[in-house]
Amino acid sequence: MDGNRGSGKSELLLVDYAREVGKGWGAAWRGILFRKQLGDLDEMVRKAESLFGMLYGDGFRFLHSKSDYRCVWKTGEELLFRHLANLEEYSEYHGHQYPWIGFEELTQWEDDKPYRKMFSCCRPTMQGIPTRVRANTNPSGIGHNWVKKRFQLPKMHGRVIRKPGEEARVAIRLDLLENFILLHTDPGYINRIRMAASSPA
């Protein structure tokens, strides 16, 4: 998912994980959500607590200890919040298995190596469980060019890319103008975004 600020990319990433919560997978539905630096996940934690708190009530809680730092459900599912600064840090996850892997702000990684390496950890923890790798990003950042090339943007927005020997992939474009709740709650937000932009485009 890519798009401008305020389009709901982070919430959509969280909801994509939550699609399988409560479906009977229990502890087998285990996900991991990455940012390049752990401190960058603070806003995502706030959104997870707000969103999942509304959806699941006391059936959900967030463990704030940096050694835990995860969403947990009474039904056993877990979503870990972790950092992956570079390829060397992959060794911390080698041998792990996660049916769901997410990346917040994909263009913050300067190349695709840590992202692609983690694909080896995306595998089912029980028969029949789905597997997914998801990412979101703003159209900027040090990794802008490799993300644009991998997803063949803008030409292939919304179209599935299939290459021999690779998982199918698709980029979904989101726009602030589609976030009716935010714009209704704060109609002036779009003007603040314009003021903060480096160019009219």
- pLDDT-derived band at 198, boundaries 50, 70, 90: low
Alpha-carbon dihedral angle through residues 168, 158, 110, 193, given to the nearest 10 degrees: -160
Rg (CA), the chain: 17
> Residues 65-79: what's their mean pLDDT?
94
- pLDDT-derived band at 19, boundaries 50, 70, 90: very high
Q: Considering the chain, what is the average pLDDT of its residues?
A: 88
Query: Does residue 190 register a pLDDT over 80?
Result: no
Which of 29-38, 92-101, 183-192 has the lowest average pLDDT? 183-192
- pLDDT-derived band at 9, boundaries 50, 70, 90: confident
Whether residue 76 contacts residue 26, with contact meaning beta carbons closer than 8 Å, is answered with yes
pLDDT of residue 95: 93
- In whole angstroms, give the CA distance from residue 92 to residue 120: 13
Whether residue 194 contacts residue 5, with contact meaning beta carbons closer than 8 Å, is answered with no
pLDDT of residue 60: 96
Q: What is the pTM of this model?
A: 0.86
- In whole angstroms, give the CA distance from residue 53 to residue 192: 29
